[in-house]
Amino acid sequence: MTKVDQAFETAAEKLESFVQDARRQGGVKAKVGDALAEDPEFLRRLKPSLVKARAKGEPVNEPKHMPEPPPEPKPAKPKRPGGGPNPWLILGAALAAGYVFAKFVDWRGHAHPRV
């Protein structure tokens, strides 16, 4: 096996480990991992020695690497230990309610002016 073949094999192994890690982490990374799942096998078929043998018409015994089934994703961690609604949402709702209440009081203040 030449150095270039070894480089292709190393790149395929690194890509395969990235795909497995991405699938394990879940979320968007899992989608990227699924999209790249077939690429390590494709890289292995692009080794220059195999391409040269196919060009000469020689039979090529390519090793078939079976992709591993995707591992179970990690359970999602709760965002906050106490749970409940987002504090920024509560703050925004309180600000909006206060603004509406102030406008209502100002509007009703014109109905009964002090003399």
Average pLDDT, the chain: 83
Q: How confident is the model at residue 77 (pLDDT cuts 50, 70, 90)?
A: low
Asked which of 4-18, 24-38, 50-64, 66-80 is least confident by mean pLDDT, the reply is: 66-80
Tell which wins on pLDDT, 75 or 4: 4
Q: Cα–Cα distance between 103 and 106 in angstroms, integer?
A: 5
Instruction: Please answer whether residues 44 and 12 qualify as being in contact, where contact means their C-beta atoms are separated by less than 8 angstroms.
Output: yes
The residue ranges of every structural domain in the chain are 3-109
pLDDT tier at 105 (50, 70, 90 boundaries)?
confident
Model pLDDT, residue 70: 62
Q: Which helix (H) or strand (E) holds 90?
A: helix 87-109
pLDDT at 80 over 60: no
Average pLDDT (80-87) is: 75
List the single range of 31-40, 64-73, 76-85, 102-111 with lowest mean pLDDT: 64-73
